[in-house]
Structure 1
Amino acid sequence: MNSHMFHLASLAFMAACMACPVASAQGKYDPGASDTEIKVGNVTAYTGEFAEYGQVARAEAAYFRKINDEGGINGRKIDFVSVDSGSNVQTAVALAHKLVDEEQVLLLVSVFGAASNLAIRPYMNEKHVPQLFVASNASTFDDPQHFPWTMGWEASRHTEAAAYARYILRNKPDAKIGVLYGSDEAGHEYVSAIREALGEKAATMIVKEEVFSYGDPAGIGAHVAALKDSGANVFLNMTFGQFATAAIRKAYDIDWHPLQFIPNGSLSIAAFIEPAGLERANGIITNARSKGWSDPRSRQDPDVRAFLAWMKQYNTEANERDANNVYGYEVAQTLVAVLKQCGNDLTRENVMKQAASLNLELGMLRPGIRISTSPTDYRPIKQLYLVRFNGQQWVPTGDIAGD
């Protein structure tokens, strides 16, 4: 072998040796992941009767842009593919299938609505594709035994409704309660949890229940009027989005001023309270998990300042008073934590393994509320606290409640 040939052979041998540790450190990938990219799917309601909730996904996209500008996750950029269901469940199902089968996303995150998530859950579990942090507080999404590929995110309806019931028992023991709820799985879960928390007093305290259809927005007014006529002095307004707005407005306009509760999903001042009228909403109680950010005193908190700086740089077209931005910000942070924990093993199985082993404190969550999961616990958030609207903003009414 002449000197030239030996030199080439030596270089080849050295290159092969150097390649060995690199190859062993290479990533393990399922569809949607590579050395440079992580493809994440989302189906939400940008249009239709629940269009206000599309802001959650816009906020998530804005947070992922921030992460990408900072170098991505372990060097990989997030490709967030978010599509519009038009607030239609059948459309959401078709789009979820397309994202998995054609777009080849690694996972779905924050798909909007209980009905849509229930409809796609069998498919996602059959395909072994993570369906993470569904945008619904239905208790059914904490079921790892039967649906190990589907995980919720926020405190459950059961926890929320029980907190309202305990507040009523403690502060208004002679209450006459009127309940307005949807003719869907969400509405029935709220009512069941309220009755359970009221215990034997439910039979006497609940004087009227009105069931409405989300397909009949014009019918809300008649249901609210019937609750007023029942003599109720507590109004459990368990409605979402523009339906909550309409019910708040109607109660005030017919001169009915009960102690009123609304779900966490309807607390956005910009999306739902301002359209109802700030004066009409004065005194309403709901629940929250995050720190306030509109009060000047809260802006001394470095995590609140970081959130507002992100809003100013990445989410510039959003209304700062829209709580959907905080929701999207926190969900996106949770997913980023999961993906970071995955390291170079970006298989769907490892994504679920890491999602089921979280122990996080997020900056915008109120102290005492944290993200925690396990293989038998698919409810990342289990606590909340009650807040009251003072005509301008939400203010805390007491301590943290929950499991």
Structure 2
Amino acid sequence: MKRIALLAALAAVAMTASPLLAAEKQPPKQSEKQYDQGATDTEIKIGQTLPWSGPASAYSVEGMVQRAYFDRTNRQGGVNGRKINFISLDDAYSPPKTVEQTRKLVEQEGVLAMFAAIGTAPNIAVHKYLNNKKVPQILILTGASRWNDPKNFPWTMAFYPLYDMEGMIFARHALQAWPNGKIAILSQNDDAGRDYVRGFKEGLGDKGKAMVVAEATYEVTDPTVDSQIVKLKNSGADVFFLMATPKFGAQALKKAHEVAWKPKTLLVSVASSIGGVLKPAGLEASQGVITTATFKTALDPAWDNAPDMKEYIAFMKESGLEKYITDRSASLGYVSAALMERILQRCGDNLTRANIMKQVSSLHDSDLPLLLPGVTVKTTPDNLSPFGAMRLQRFEGEGWVLFGEAISAQH
């Protein structure tokens, strides 16, 4: 009887222990929610540096619109129930200041990602730092070719079309429209300017050496570009490739008009704002200027009945930003914020930096607000440049008029 009782007791222990042993063999269940620094159940913290002051302060409109957009998102319940804490600090378009403010955002504020920082030189200053820290540096508002290098810098992605690609598109048009033209070039003396000019000359090909008759550059600290415009006029050029930021773009157009220089002008998209460039230059001085575009122009009658344009205009009015409706920087801020919201939504409850980059490298959006017909946003792990084609438009009267189809630099 004792033996039977002992066997029964051992069997009972074995039966009790087996679930525990089985449980030990099972991998621990992972939490459904995964967070990196800057994300919680209630908040997503994103950072930005922006020239709220200094020579490129015209771009601060983008930050105003982005802030208003995220405020609206938060009022509507946030992203998957989380509020966006958007921290934008002034770097005055000064690379040393960008470094200081970016370190503050990453190391003190603890942001999950850096979003839509402006400027080629400022972003270069923190490029390696953010990649070494594995902090997403995404939707940055610059189109330098260096931003599309996922092999060496997998944490960086630009929102602008690449500058060299845009330069090639301008060159394709120049060759077709003015094959015997004499071209003058004004550009900013930095990586952005060099990218634009390199792409433009590559697009001209062998004919470029004969067609380009004069070149001049300027520094962002220069008070004006008046002397450069006089020099370029005296070259006898009848085609003008103008690469400038808004302040200097307006100065160049105005001075060319004052000295009665009337070339066919190709104006880069970063300086194509009606409110920020063409009106300050003078609408008369801006007639006939050609630029590239990826977004619809606000208050253009062609888009009066477009639902996305109606929504944008209503948003700008409700946000107290009505005076900036025609400013290209405003529409850029609006679209970039809309895309950032989508990226965060697609992350779901996996708000890690790695998952943000996974979403960034697999975009395929043709329905973003304000995109022009024929223009889409598409990325792959090997190509983080979101735009492969652009449209051309000419300034007539008080607005831009599209012409031709969407074109790429390749064909």
TM-score when scaled to structure 2?
Answer: 0.90
Query: 2:62 pairs with 56, 59, 64, which one?
Result: 56
The corresponding residue for 2:279 is 274
Separation of aligned partners in 2, 1:326 and 1:238: 20
The corresponding residue for 1:331 is 336
Separation of aligned partners in 1, 2:30 and 2:244: 53
The corresponding residue for 1:357 is 362
Query: 1:292 pairs with 293, 297, 307, which one?
Result: 297
How is 1:218-367 mapped onto 2 (pairs within 5 angstroms)? 218=224, 220-316=225-321, 318-361=323-366, 362-367=368-373
Query: 2:34 pairs with 20, 28, 38, which one?
Result: 28
CA displacement 1:153-198 (0-9 Å, x = unmatched) = 1211111111111111111111000011122111111221111111
AA of the residue aligned to 1:132: I
Distance 1:200 1:367, change over 3 A: same
The corresponding residue for 1:133 is 139
1:215 aligns with 2:221: yes
Distance 1:112 1:337, change over 3 A: same
Separation of aligned partners in 1, 2:245 and 2:397: 20
The corresponding residue for 1:45 is 51
Distance 1:25 1:308, change over 3 A: farther
The corresponding residue for 1:149 is 155
CA displacement 1:31-69 (0-9 Å, x = unmatched) = 110000000101001111100000111111111112111
Separation of aligned partners in 2, 1:256 and 1:316: 35
Separation of aligned partners in 1, 2:230 and 2:283: 21
AA of the residue aligned to 2:195: E
RMSD: 1.3
CA displacement 1:253-299 (0-9 Å, x = unmatched) = 00100001111011111111111111111111111111233123412
8 Å Cα contact 1:208-1:227 kept in structure 2: yes
The corresponding residue for 1:120 is 126
- Where 1:83 maps in the other structure, the secondary structure is strand
Query: 1:159 pairs with 150, 159, 165, which one?
Result: 165
Separation of aligned partners in 2, 1:280 and 1:340: 44
Separation of aligned partners in 2, 1:391 and 1:183: 32
**Unaligned segments of structure 2, at least 5 residues:** 1-28
Query: 2:375 pairs with 366, 369, 382, which one?
Result: 369
Separation of aligned partners in 1, 2:58 and 2:232: 27
8 Å Cα contact 1:27-1:34 kept in structure 2: no
The corresponding residue for 1:82 is 88
- Where 1:300 maps in the other structure, the secondary structure is coil
CA displacement 1:120-150 (0-9 Å, x = unmatched) = 0100011010000111011110000000001
TM-score when scaled to structure 1?
Answer: 0.92
Separation of aligned partners in 2, 1:353 and 1:295: 36
1:217 Cα deviation from its structure 2 partner: 2.6
**Worse-superposed segment, 189-198 or 72-81:** 189-198
Separation of aligned partners in 2, 1:127 and 1:103: 15
CA displacement 1:361-390 (0-9 Å, x = unmatched) = 212101221111111111112221111111
1:26 Cα deviation from its structure 2 partner: 4.3
Query: 1:199 pairs with 196, 205, 214, which one?
Result: 205
The structure 1 segments of at least 4 consecutive aligned residues displaced by more than 2 Å after TM superposition are 23-26, 314-318
Separation of aligned partners in 2, 1:374 and 1:318: 37
How is 1:372-391 mapped onto 2 (pairs within 5 angstroms)? 372-391=378-397
Aligned residue-pair number: 380
Query: 1:97 pairs with 103, 108, 121, which one?
Result: 103
AA of the residue aligned to 2:258: D
Separation of aligned partners in 2, 1:245 and 1:253: 12
AA of the residue aligned to 2:177: N
1:87 Cα deviation from its structure 2 partner: 2.1
1:244 Cα deviation from its structure 2 partner: 0.7
**Higher Cα Rg, which structure:** 2
